[in-house]
A and B are shown apart, each in its own frame.
Chain A
Amino acid sequence: MLYKTNAKSLLAISALISWLLLLVYVLLTAESTLAGTDAPRFALPFFRNLLIVIFIVSVFLFQRLQTETLKGMDFIGYLWNLFSKAGVTAYLSVALYLVYRVYNNYADVKSSLLLHLVYQVNFALLVLFLAKAFYIWRQLLLYHKNKFLQIAWDWFELLLAATLLLTLFNFDYTNYVFLPLLALMGFYILFLCTNMKWVAYLTFNNKSRSLVLLGAVLLSCYIFVRFFLNTSERTDLVIDYSGVGFLLLAMMFVTMYTLAAFLVSLFSLPTSSVFEQKSEDLLNFQRLSLSIQQGQSEAQVYDMLFESTIKASDANAAWFEVIRNSEPQTTHLLNIQEPQINSIRHLLKAYNINNLDYINNNLGRNPGFRGLALPWKSVAILPLKTAKHLSGVLYLLKDVEGGFDQETVNVLRTFTSQTTLTIENLRLVNESLQNERYKEELKIATQVQESLIPKTFPTDSWFEISTHSVAAKEVGGDFYDFLQLSESRIAIIIGDVSGKGISAAFHMAQMKGIFHGLMQQDMAPSEFMKQANSALSRCLERTSFITSSLYIIDYRMKGFMFARAGHCHTLYYNSMMDDVFYFSTEGLGLGIIRDNRNYAGHIREMYYDYNPGDVMVIYTDGIIEARNAQNDEYGEERLQHMLKETYHLEAEDIKYAIINDLNDFTGPGNIYDDQTLLVIKFKPTQPNT
């Protein structure tokens, strides 16, 4: 940036100095000619040419840096720059020349010096004009460039710069050798003039404005050409810039490109509205598809559809109805009354074509529509429809016959299908948000349920206990809990609610409440089951039931009492007999018989004395009914076998051994039912007594 500013000021200074030196040179030469000496005192053509070249190069390079700041797609901005900064110089030069003429006439003195001054100033203006115009056209010409065009332009600039050498060495460009070369350059310029992609991006209004600006610039070109060709014929001038080939070529390029731009703009003027419509359609498509990211509502999407389709089809009247609960509801209206809508709807219903894709380009020929005496002659009906869902219907009306040609209808259909897609996506987004919320709630439920299951049992020297519990879904129907009844007695319960998920989780929480409520009164397991059955009969739905086992362990008596209500059999290792077996007691699940007098006969209670080293394994059916890929169940036998292998371990290790074996059996991530496992090992020693 600093380099650029420095370079620019350096170039400006060198341009100014070279121009001033040139002016001094010209004036001195002119004076010496005026003095009548045959041999001018100053005849240094090489020095003069060098100054001209320095001036031209400085100004061009300066403008080259200057115009690089112009960027973007504001083409009218470019053209305005072209006119206000370049074109105006021509009018300045005309004004200057006129002032000179008027002064000449008025003063009636032929001042050769003044003429030279004016001529010199005009030369500076011309170079400024050419440099500015040249580089603004360069920016536009290279719009949407490809590599080939860039190379072509670079060569053009180089060749043009090379022509300055002709001036420097004072070659006459009208020489027969150089003339064909110059002609070739002319063709090169013609080729460059075909690159006008930017014109296509001008809207109708912009094109009209650009025509005015381009016209003004063309006039500037004409003024300069005329001035310099005219003055070159004057013999009293000591210098003639029309002989500088570079300026001629630059002028040729600027004029031709301006003319080409003018003509292209002029002739593309009638078609520009079509392109405008197309690009607007494209923009609207984009807006529709972006509307989800921008968080727009369904209503806003319909607004967009309504506006865009009316513009795209140039419809005179239109309405849009949203289908809510299979009832149409008019949400958008344009130039049409409710009664007219109703009459059209009735007619369509009578023809059985309501809510169907339907185009009629000659309503007058249809007796039904003729009968309605509507002011429109074409209608397009476009339903917004997915495979199973109709979300809305768009009606467009035009007052000419054949108003909806195939091309228009294609565009309209694209709009409606894009809208359908957007609406569908909006719904999906909303649904997924809703799901996200449900997931959050479930997460809370999971946490609540986890807090219902005790993580730690009272650490006691009488026995050790290890627990394992996983739910197949976010929440489950398995549960276990304990309650210290007295110093030496603890009640442990395990249960399984039929079914899975939320409803099971609710019943599980209920069961926990019943356990804590009833066991406060310290009752026998069978009595607990009876009362629990009675309580649950009143609140479980008919297809639900709960299986449960309750154990009351008495350390002092070294025994436990238990009752099984339809729950899995308890697995037991007796260290005295060195035997692993299941307790096979009878017992009906809770909530199956809702008549409690009947239930009492279906529950058995059992008392068992334990020995130190005995192991009790309590579990839910999720363990023994777990399946492997071959659909085999884990089964009671395998569980029994596992305990046989591991009874000598600590409770924690027995649990891990069983769970690992179970996971080996089912394979990873293969849980279809809630699994709960409790391992209780009675300890041999009794410290602290």
Chain B
Amino acid sequence: MKITQEIKDNTVIMTLNGELDASSSVLLDEELSDPEIMKYSKVLVNCQDLNYISSAGLGVFISHLQRFEDAQIKLIFFNMQDKVRNVFEILGLDLLMTIVSDYEEARTIANE
């Protein structure tokens, strides 16, 4: 699992690369818990190279969901592979989280 961050126009673009399992979800949790992130109003997560997400990985996003919402930070996922999206959908997270097809769309929604 590789997590990279890029900051562009008051937006954090986080790229997930690899498999988000029980051990790598700890890394993700550290990244999302970083107080620096709270300074930005938008967090876009690029899931293009995210091949797998375990329930632990989902748990990390879920645990930060409420916090981001309270701080009025937009969390948007884009470029998600079908099988990963399926996992989000089965759990019903597609109704809670913003999952869009590509970066352009993500930017548009973020700037609304």
Contacts and interface: CB of A to CB of B under 8 A. Distances in A.
Interface of A: 496, 498-500, 542-545, 547, 565-569, 586-589, 592-594, 602, 621, 633
A496 B87 CA distance: 14
Nearest to B19: A631
A224 B93 CA distance: 113
Contact of B91 (A499, A544, A592, A594): A592
12 contacts: A500-B22, A542-B62, A542-B63, A543-B63, A545-B55, A545-B59, A547-B90, A565-B92, A566-B92, A589-B92, A592-B91, A602-B92
Contacts of A566: 90-93
Contacts of A542: 59, 62-63
B95 A602 contact: yes
Given A543-B29, A545-B58, A587 B92 contact: yes
A589 B92 CA distance: 7
A593 B96 contact: yes
Interface of B: 22, 25, 29, 55-56, 58-60, 62-63, 65-66, 83, 87, 90-93, 95-96
A588 B90 contact: no
A565 to B, nearest CB: 8
Contacts of B22: 499-500
A628 to B, nearest CB: 14
A545 B54 CA distance: 12
A567 B92 CA distance: 9
A contact patch SS = loop
B31 to A, nearest CB: 14
A593 B63 CA distance: 10
Given A543-B62, A569-B90, A588-B91, A499 B55 contact: yes
A686 B17 CA distance: 56
Contacts of A496: 55
Contacts of A500: 22
Contacts of A547: 90-91
A267 B90 CA distance: 93
A331 B76 CA distance: 62
Contacts of B96: 588, 592-593, 602
B93 A543 contact: no
B90 A594 contact: no
A499 B63 CA distance: 14
A565 B63 CA distance: 18
B95 A545 contact: no
A588 B55 CA distance: 14
Contacts of A545: 55, 58-59, 62, 91
Contacts of A565: 92
A586 B25 CA distance: 26
B72 to A, nearest CB: 17
Contacts of B55: 496, 498-499, 545, 621
In the A-B complex, list the 5 residue pairs whose CB atoms are closest, starting with the nearest: A588-B92, A498-B55, A543-B59, A542-B63, A566-B91
A499 B22 CA distance: 7
B88 to A, nearest CB: 10
Given A499-B59, A544-B59, A592-B65, 4 more contacts: A543-B59, A566-B91, A587-B92, A621-B87
A543 B91 contact: no
B63 to A, nearest CB: 4
Contact of A594 (B59, B66, B83): B66
Given A499-B55, A602-B95, A633 B83 contact: yes
Given A499-B55, A543-B63, A545-B58, A592 B29 contact: no
Contacts of B95: 586, 588, 602
Contacts of B92: 565-566, 586-589, 592, 602
Given A500-B22, A545-B62, A588 B83 contact: no
